[in-house]
Amino acid sequence: MELSQADIAYVRANFRPLDAVCREHGERLDEVRDLIRARRLPAPSYIFPDGSEMVPADYFALVDEAGGPDRLREDFDRRHRSAGGASAELEEDWNGYIDGIYAICLRSVSPETIVRKTELVEAIGALLDHPAPDDAEWRSGLRRQVDELDALERDFSPDYDRHQFGRPPTRDLLIKASHERYPDVFAATASRAG
């Protein structure tokens, strides 16, 4: 599926061109592209029809925190373990990061936010699989966890992101679905925000 005009507008509003981010960070674009090909830096999250490579504004944050691309994988693994990430998921999470996928779904990509997203997805899924809307603890847990996931996740592009993975994004499956199925659970949150 190709990016629609609405997708392109969303990406332009939420991501930056790789060449601009490299220039601002003092990096040579050709060297960064070599590191991307070698899977030592994340791939662009989106590539426009004109070839523009789009990345999050904080593209180099995790690399800088690690002390450079040579230490990125080691630092990612260490932080993933420290955050409580399952060792069975480490390789998949690294690949999601290095392929630019996690930057599509997370406002700020780090091993900690990746692990936390997984925890929240599982917890919210369990709550929705065993609904108890009359139970105050269930309601509070659903509201708290959905709100936290909502704060971690991006909005996703209107068309492309909702089709490229073969299923709707977790924003639709868990956040939106929770609000639609249990609007009264979130009514107090909405009235406080308004």
**Is 53 among the domain residues?**
no
**Is 181 among the domain residues?**
yes
**Is 92 among the domain residues?**
yes
Q: pLDDT band at 3, cuts 50/70/90? A: very high
Per-residue model confidence (pLDDT) at position 189: 55
Domain ranges, residue 117 = 61-193
pLDDT in tens, 48-90: 999 999 999 999 999 999 999 999 999 999 999 999 999 999 9
**Is 167 among the domain residues?**
yes
**Is 24 among the domain residues?**
no
Per-residue model confidence (pLDDT) at position 164: 87
Question: Which helix or strand (DSSP H or E) is residue 16 part of?
Answer: strand 16-17
* Structure-block tokens of residue 23: 């220039």
Q: pLDDT band at 194, cuts 50/70/90? A: very low
Total domain count for the chain? 1
Q: How many residues does the chain have?
A: 194
* pLDDT higher than 60, residue 192: no
- Count CB neighbours of 139 within 10 A: 18
Q: How far is CA 9 from the centre of its chain?
A: 19
Residue at 47: amino acid letter: I
pLDDT, averaged across the chain = 94
Contacts of 86 (CB under 8 A, 6+ apart): 118
Contact (Cβ atoms closer than 8 angstroms) between residue 157 and residue 185: no
Contact (Cβ atoms closer than 8 angstroms) between residue 54 and residue 44: yes
**Is 68 among the domain residues?**
yes
pLDDT above 70 coverage of the chain, percent:
96
**Is 100 among the domain residues?**
yes
Per-residue model confidence (pLDDT) at position 165: 85
How far is Cα 63 from Cα 75, in angstroms, rounded to an integer?
Answer: 9
**Is 186 among the domain residues?**
yes
